[in-house]
Amino acid sequence: MNNKVIYAIYNDDDILMDAVKKTRAAHHHIEEVFTPFPVHGLDKAMGLAPSRLAICSFIYGCIGITFATLMMNFIMIQDWPQDIGGKPSFSFIQNMPAFVPIMFEMTVFFAAHLMVLTFYMRSKLWPFKQAENPDVRTTDDHFLMEISINNNEEELVSFFQNTGAVEVKVIEKN
Amino acid sequence: MYTFSSKLKTLSFILMAVGLLGIGYGFYSSPKDIHEVEILLAAESHGAHGEAEAHGETEAHGEAKSSDEAHMETPTHGGTEAKASAEHEEHLTHVLHELQNKPWAALYVACIFFLLIAMGVLAFYAIQQVAQAGWSPVLFRVMQGITAYLPWGSVLFFILLILCGLHFNHLFIWLDPEVVAHDKLIAQKSGYLNFPFWIVRAAIFLIGWNLYRYYSAKNCLAQDAASDDLYYKKNFKMSAGFLVFFIVTESIMSWDWIMSVDPHWFSTLFGWYVFASFFVSGITMIALVTVYLKSRGFLEYVNTSHIHDLAKFMFGISVFWTYLWFSQFMLIWYANIPEEITYFITRIQLYNLPFFGAVVMNFVFPLLILINTDFKRITWVIVMAGVVILAGHYIDFFNMIMPGTVGDKWFIGVPEIASVLFFLGLFIFTVFTALTKAPLLPKRNPFIEESKHFHY
């Protein structure tokens, strides 16, 4: 099976952005772009769908506040409603101001940590994970665009040489 | 240049006229003496009105009133006939003062609310100058237009304060020498709470704020015509100085004009709380005026990113207000010290809906609406959230002033609504008149190019 890809390497993010736009205009499929730092607007140029992490986080926050409310309602009101310093423990609402700091922190805690874990899972990041750098220079000062080849190797190589790439490599992937 | 649409001008005149009529009606219909109050109360008790909670408001008039409640319904059952009737008289006088305060308090709340909205905008404007914000210079003229209400609001408000000092009303009970003579707590505060000192402070604050507004707007126009950045630098330094002056005077202002309505009560974070309330109202007002001018095609360079930034400020400062609201409430609720908790007991027992409704309008609603990035760019969402936030903060000021002045006799009726309409009309008229006086885009601001192309 043919698993050839092109590595087009750039040394400037402006040139990379132009190349990405040209590639998209020419309808070549971009597999991946590797950059040493976030390039503003790259996701838009590549046509990537917006992230839904914020929505996840909102839901996690809702779970957090529900958890905190149920927990304190059970402990402080249902299970053992003691008189502690004259605080009214007859119903949740009567004693609610005392619970708000915990409800707030739980909301933030759930929203933050679960969102981070979601990010790690969706990005497939974990300790001891094999790094996926196609070229070590992409973590320092080079930008790399990976494009799949469909029996049009010569055409693609010349196309990417015209986009300002400092290096165009054809690689056999397995 | 902006041209004041004739429709909006007519609307502002109608608002002012209707407002004035309503304010006049409010003063006309308030009772003149205790006989009218007696008739009113008799009519009320026939209507099975809950008399039991009529006196949650004792704190405003001191401990002298604590036995009123027991005597008001059955004066003849009391120990001696004479004592009971004297107390009945006293109670009627108390109710009379509350009812006579109603139109005054309505006027006072609306007046201070709009005055402080202009102040919120001025503070925001000064912060933008000092922070050298790159996004907001295209909105500077809008902010200057809104703060043009400040001189009008200051004069009207100052007149109101003088009228309080001349005993036209009983808004500030510490201004009444009779009350001070019998009230040790207030008497001991009279070194600070006395009319001459109080009114001089107010004058200094208002003059200081107006001076900054005047010279800042003037320098901004001068910068347009200049060939260097001298006026910009002048404005920068002046804004920094103003912010220092502002935060000191704002704090004292909140004690003088709002907290002293309840002279037995004090709270240390009150100044911040008041600040957050009118700061978010001011930002909301900037957003609403901007959205209006944009929809009329007057703000060429304002894009959805500018609106988005304003909406983020509306959202963030709304949460900040809630943080302070809750911090003040929870600390006092938790410790439950009698001399502090009366403030909230009054509000929870007599003002339950406005007290908690303000939290819903100023926190829950903006929190759920303005959390979404896409929503923050939609005009009608901004307008809807803005109207709710402004109404919510009016109620917030209502909650601060009313319990100490009218007690359980509060109602959002003709005097209250009319006062808001009058000041809204005046606000619209002065603001949009001022907007016609200068081009809506500053020309030579060092950050204007960045601001024109601001994109988030």
Q: What is the DSSP string of B62-85?
A: -GGGTTHHHHHH-GGGSSSHHHHH
Query: Quick one: tokens of A104?
Result: 């707030």
- A54 to chain B: which residues are within 8 Å by CB? 373
Model confidence at B74, pLDDT cuts 50, 70, 90, reads: very low
A30-34 β-sheet, strand order: A30-34, A143-148, A4-10, A167-172
| Mean pLDDT to the nearest integer, B267-277 | 95
Does B65 have pLDDT greater than 80? no
Predicted local confidence at residue B83, as pLDDT: 79
CB pairs under 8 A between A and B: 12
- Rounded CA separation B456/B454 (Å): 7
If you measure CA to CA, which chain A residue comes closest to B326?
A: A97
Percent of chain B predicted with pLDDT > 70: 92
DSSP percent split of chain B into helix, strand, coil, nearest 5:
80, 0, 20
Q: Do A100 and B371 touch (CB under 8 A)?
A: no
Query: Quick one: tokens of B455?
Result: 């994109």
Predicted local confidence at residue B72, as pLDDT: 46
Question: Does residue B207 contact residue B94 with C-beta atoms inside 8 Å?
Answer: no
| Mean pLDDT to the nearest integer, B104-117 | 96
A164 alpha-carbon distance from chain centroid: 29
Model confidence at B35, pLDDT cuts 50, 70, 90, reads: confident
Please state the pTM of the whole predicted model.
Answer: 0.90
CA distance A23 to chain B (A): 25
CA distance B395 to chain A (A): 21
Predicted local confidence at residue B47, as pLDDT: 54
Does B18 have pLDDT greater than 50? yes
Does B76 have pLDDT greater than 60? no
Interface of A to B at Cβ within 8 Å reads 54, 58, 86, 97-98, 100
Predicted local confidence at residue B71, as pLDDT: 43
Handedness of CA A55, A60, A65, A66 (dihedral sign): positive
Written as one letter, the residue type at B371 is I
Q: Which of B173 and A153 is assigned the larger pLDDT?
A: B173
| Mean pLDDT to the nearest integer, B157-161 | 97
Question: Does residue B216 contact residue B239 with C-beta atoms inside 8 Å?
Answer: yes
Q: Which of B31 and A137 is assigned the larger pLDDT?
A: A137
pLDDT tens by residue, A19-58: 999 999 999 889 999 999 999 989 999 999 999 999 999 9
Best CA proximity match to B426, nearest among B23, B2, B1, B3: B23
Q: Do B334 and A98 touch (CB under 8 A)?
A: yes
- Rounded CA separation B455/B451 (Å): 9
Predicted local confidence at residue B121, as pLDDT: 97
Q: Do A100 and B330 touch (CB under 8 A)?
A: yes
Does B77 have pLDDT greater than 60? no
Which residue has tokens 């402006």? A14
Q: Within an 8 Å CB–CB cutoff, is residue B456 touching chain A?
A: no
- Rounded CA separation B112/B130 (Å): 26
If you measure CA to CA, which chain B residue comes closest to A84?
A: B334
Give the pairing type, strands A30-34 and A4-10: unpaired
Predicted local confidence at residue B317, as pLDDT: 97
Nearest CB neighbour to B329, from listed A54, A58, A97: A97
| B440 Cβ contact list (under 8 Å, min separation 6) | B1, B2, B141, B142, B293, B298, B299
CA distance A114 to chain B (A): 19
Model confidence at B73, pLDDT cuts 50, 70, 90, reads: very low
Predicted local confidence at residue B161, as pLDDT: 96
- B326 to chain A: which residues are within 8 Å by CB? 97, 100
Q: Within an 8 Å CB–CB cutoff, is residue B363 touching chain A?
A: no
- A97 to chain B: which residues are within 8 Å by CB? 326, 329-330, 333-334
| Mean pLDDT to the nearest integer, B155-172 | 94
- Under DSSP, the state recorded for B361 is I
If you measure CA to CA, which chain B residue comes closest to A97?
A: B330
* DSSP H helix total and E strand total for chain B: 18, 0
The mean pLDDT value of chain A amounts to 92
Cβ of B139: how many Cβ atoms within 10 Å? 29
- B336 to chain A: which residues are within 8 Å by CB? 86
- A100 to chain B: which residues are within 8 Å by CB? 326, 330
CA distance B330 to chain A (A): 6
Best CA proximity match to B395, nearest among B359, B426, B430, B367: B359
- Rounded CA separation B394/B198 (Å): 24
Model confidence at B31, pLDDT cuts 50, 70, 90, reads: confident
Question: Does residue B22 contact residue B16 with C-beta atoms inside 8 Å?
Answer: no
DSSP codes joined into one string, A45-98: HHTPPPP-HHHHHHHHHHHHHHHHHHHHIIIIIII----STT---SSTGGGHHH
- Rounded CA separation B81/B70 (Å): 14
Predicted local confidence at residue B39, as pLDDT: 82
Predicted local confidence at residue B46, as pLDDT: 64
Q: Which of B164 and B37 is assigned the larger pLDDT?
A: B164
List all residues of chain B from 305 to 334 with a beta carbon under 8 Å from chain A: 326, 329-330, 333-334
- Rounded CA separation B344/B57 (Å): 11
pLDDT tens by residue, A76-117: 999 999 999 999 999 999 999 999 999 999 999 999 999 999
CA distance A87 to chain B (A): 8
Predicted local confidence at residue A104, as pLDDT: 97
CA distance A129 to chain B (A): 34
Model confidence at B38, pLDDT cuts 50, 70, 90, reads: confident
| Mean pLDDT to the nearest integer, B44-62 | 48
- Rounded CA separation A47/B55 (Å): 66
Predicted local confidence at residue A10, as pLDDT: 94
- B373 to chain A: which residues are within 8 Å by CB? 54
Predicted local confidence at residue B124, as pLDDT: 97
**3 state DSSP class of B378:** coil
The mean-pLDDT minimum among A15-19, B75-79, B110-114, B424-428 falls in B75-79
- B330 to chain A: which residues are within 8 Å by CB? 97-98, 100
Query: Quick one: tokens of B150?
Result: 């400040």
ipTM above 0.85, yes or no: yes
CA distance B279 to chain A (A): 24
- Interface residue of B324, B325, B334 to substitute, partner A, most A CBs within 10 Å: B334
Q: Which of B85 and B229 is assigned the larger pLDDT?
A: B229
**What is the CA angle B171-B172-B174, rounded to 5?**
150
| Mean pLDDT to the nearest integer, B324-340 | 95
Predicted local confidence at residue A174, as pLDDT: 65
Predicted local confidence at residue A35, as pLDDT: 94
Q: Where are the beta strands (DSSP E) in B208-255?
A: none
Phi, psi values for residue B443, rounded to 5°: -90, -50
| A85 Cβ contact list (under 8 Å, min separation 6) | none
| B124 Cβ contact list (under 8 Å, min separation 6) | B143, B279, B282, B283, B286, B313
DSSP codes joined into one string, B117-178: HHHHHHHHHHHHHHTT-SSSGGGHHHHHHHHTHHHHHHHHHHHHHHHHHTTS--SSGGG-HH
Beta partners for A9? A144, A167
Does B54 have pLDDT greater than 70? no
- Interface residue of B325, B326, B376 to substitute, partner A, most A CBs within 10 Å: B326
Predicted local confidence at residue B405, as pLDDT: 92
Predicted local confidence at residue B323, as pLDDT: 97
Q: Do A97 and B330 touch (CB under 8 A)?
A: yes
- Rounded CA separation A119/A123 (Å): 6
- Rounded CA separation B317/B182 (Å): 42
pLDDT tens by residue, B370-400: 999 999 999 999 999 999 999 999 999 999 9
The mean pLDDT value of chain B amounts to 90
